[in-house]
Chain A
Amino acid sequence: MIRFKVNGTVRETDAPPMARLLDVLRVPLGLTGTKEGCGEGECGACSVMLDGVPVNSCLVAVGQCEGREVVTVEGLAHGAELTPLQRAFIEDGGAQCGICTPGMLVAAEALLRRNTSPTDDDVRDAIAGNLCRCTGYQRIVDSIQAAAAAVRAKTSKASKASKAGGETGA
Chain B
Amino acid sequence: MTSRVDRTVGKNVSRVDGHAKVTGQAVYVDDLTTPGALFGGTVRSAVARGTLRGIRKDPSFDWTGITVVTAADIPGDNVVALIEDDQPLLAKDAIRHVYEPVALVACDDPVRLQQAIAAITLDVEPLPPVLSIEDAEAKKQIIYGKDNVQKRYVIEHELGGKTIDELILACDVVVTGRYAVHHQEQMYIEPQGMVAHWQEAGEGAEAGVGDGVHVTGSLQCPFYVHKAMKRAFALEGDRVHIGQAVTGGGFGGKEEYPSILAAHAALLSKVAGKPVRMIYGRKEDIEATTKRHPARIEITTGCTKAGELVALKVECAMDGGAYVTLTPVVLSRGILHAAGAYKWKHARIHGWAVATNTPPNGAFRGFGAPQTIWAIERHMDRIAEKLGKDPLTLRQQNLLAIGAVTVTGQTLTQSVGVVECIEKAVKSSDYFAKRAAYAKPSPAAGSRTRTRRGIGAAVFMHGAGFTGSGERRLKGKVQVDLEPGGRLRVRSASTDIGQGTETIFRQIAADAAELPFDTIEIETPNTSNVPDSGPTVASRTVMVVGSIVGKGAKMIADRVRASGTGDFATLADALLAREKKVSTLVEYEPPVAVQWNDDTYRGDAYPCYAWACDIAEVEVDLDTFETKVIGFWAAQDIGKAIHPIMCAGQVEGGTLQAIGWALYENLVMKDGHILNARMTNYVIPTSKDAPPFTTFLVEHPFSGGPSGAKGVGELPMDGGAPAIAAAVEQAIGALCNDLPLLPEDLFRAKSKSQVARS
Q: A35-B248, A40-B678, A90-B19 are in contact. Are A96 and B189 (CB under 8 A)?
A: no
Given A124-B687, A138-B693, is A34 in contact with B24 using a C-beta cutoff of 8 Å? yes
Further pairs besides A42-B678, A91-B15, A140-B687: 4, Cβ < 8 Å: A31-B24, A98-B248, A133-B186, A138-B693
Contacting residue for A35 out of B14, B190, B654, B684, CB 8 A: B190
* A4 part of interface (Cβ distance < 8 Å): no
Residues of A within 8 A of B12 (CB): 91
Kindly state the separation between the CA atoms of A43 and B22 in the bound complex, as whole angstroms.
Answer: 17
Is A141 a contact of B687 with CB atoms below 8 Å?
Answer: yes
Q: A99 to chain B: which residues have CB within 8 Å?
A: 28, 188-190, 248-249
Contact A39 B281 (CB under 8 A): yes
**CB <8 Å contact, B687 and A95:** no
Complex contact A139–B498 (CB within 8 A): no
- Expressed in whole angstroms, the Cα–Cα distance for A86 and B12 within the complex equals 16
A86 to chain B, nearest CB (A): 4
A136:B23 contact, CB within 8 angstroms: no
With contacts A99-B189, A141-B687 taken as known, whether A36 is within 8 angstroms of B646 at the C-beta atoms is no
Q: Evaluate contact between A120 and B678: CB separation under 8 angstroms.
A: no
4 A-B pairs closest in CB distance: A33-B24, A97-B498, A99-B248, A90-B18
Query: Would A90 and B249 be within 8 Å (CB), given that A38-B282, A133-B189, A138-B652 are in contact?
Result: no
Contact of B22 among A32, A35, A89 (CB under 8 A): A89
Q: State whether A98 and B498 are in contact (beta carbons under 8 Å apart), knowing that A128-B688, A136-B656 are contacts in the complex.
A: yes
The total of chain B residues at the interface (CB under 8 A) is 56
| A-B contact number at CB 8 A | 170
By the criterion CB–CB under 8 Å, are B24 and A72 in contact?
A: yes
Contact with A along B1-35 (1 / 0, CB 8 A): 00000000000101101111111111110110000
How long is the Cα–Cα vector from A43 to B190 in the complex, in angstroms?
Answer: 10
Question: In whole Å, how far is B246's beta carbon from the nearest beta carbon of chain A?
Answer: 7
Q: Which residues of A contact B (CB under 8 A)?
A: 26, 31-40, 42-43, 45, 72-74, 76-77, 82, 85-86, 89-93, 95-102, 105, 120, 123-125, 127-141
- Nearest Cβ in chain A — how far from B505, in angstroms? 16
B249 touches A73 (CB 8 A): no
Pick from B19, B21, B653: contact of A133, CB below 8 A.
B653
In the bound assembly, the distance between CA atoms of A128 and B690 in angstroms comes to 10
Q: Is the CB of A125 within 8 A of B30?
A: no
The smallest beta-carbon distance between A132 and chain B, in angstroms, is: 7
**B684 and A74 contacting across the interface, CB-CB below 8 Å:** no
Task: Report chain A residues within 8 Å CB of B645.
Answer: 92-93, 139
Q: A43-B679, A96-B500, A97-B188 are in contact. Are A137 and B21 (CB under 8 A)?
A: no
User: Are A136 and B693 in touch, CB under 8 angstroms?
Assistant: yes
In Å, the complex CA distance between A86 and B657 comes to 25
Bound-state CA distance A95–B687 (Å) is 15
Which chain B positions have C-beta within 8 A of A74?
Answer: 23-25
* Interface check B67, CB cutoff 8 A: no
A residues within 8 A CB of B246?
Answer: 98
Contact A43 B189 (CB under 8 A): yes
> B: which residues have CB within 8 A of A?
12, 14-15, 17-28, 30-31, 186-191, 246-249, 251, 281-282, 497-500, 645-646, 648-649, 651-657, 678-680, 684, 686-688, 690, 692-693, 695
For chain B, what secondary structure do more than half of its interface residues adopt (helix, strand, loop), or is it mixed?
loop
Question: Complex formed: what's the CA distance from A127 to B249 in Å?
Answer: 19
Q: Measured between C-beta atoms, what is the minimum distance from B164 to chain A in Å?
A: 39
Distance of B122 from chain A, by nearest CB (Å): 26
Contact B23 A33 (CB under 8 A): yes
Q: Which residues of A contact B656 (CB under 8 A)?
A: 135-137
- Contacting residues, chain A, for B646 (C-beta < 8 A): 93, 96
Q: In the bound complex, how far is the Cα of B679 from the Cα of A128, in angstroms?
A: 14
Would you call A97 and B249 a contact (CB within 8 A)? yes
How far, in whole Å, are A140 and B651 apart by their CA atoms in the complex?
14
**A95 closest partner in B (C-beta):** B21
User: A85 contacts which chain B residues (CB < 8 A)?
Assistant: 22
Query: Known contacts A133-B187, A135-B649: does B23 contact A77 (CB below 8 Å)?
Result: yes
CB-CB under 8 A from B190, the residues of chain A are: 35, 37, 97, 99
Kindly state the separation between the CA atoms of A91 and B687 in the bound complex, as whole angstroms: 20
With a cutoff of 8 Å between Cβ atoms, the chain B residues found around residue A31 in the complex are 24
Please state if B498 and A131 are interface contacts (CB–CB under 8 Å). no
Give complex CA distance A89, B21 in Å.
Answer: 9
- Report whether A136 and B690 are in contact in the complex, using a CB–CB cutoff of 8 Å: yes
Do residues B692 and A82 form an inter-chain contact, with CB atoms below 8 A?
no
Q: How far is the CA of A92 from the CA of B644 in the complex (A)?
A: 10
Chain B minimum-CB-distance residue to A132:
B189
Q: Given B15, B24, B248, B686, which contacts A128 in the complex, CB threshold below 8 Å?
A: B686
Residues of B with C-beta under 8 A to A100: 189
What is the chain A residue whose CB lies nearest that of B186? A133
Are B282 and A136 in contact, with the CB atoms below 8 A? no
**B653 A96 Cβ-Cβ under 8 A:** yes
Most central of B27, B646, B653 by chain A CB within 10 Å: B653
Which residues of chain A are within 8 angstroms of B654 by Cβ–Cβ distance?
A: 136
Residue of B nearest to A83 (CB): B22
A77 to chain B, nearest CB (A): 6
Given contacts A43-B189, A138-B690, A140-B687, contact A96 B499 (CB under 8 A): yes
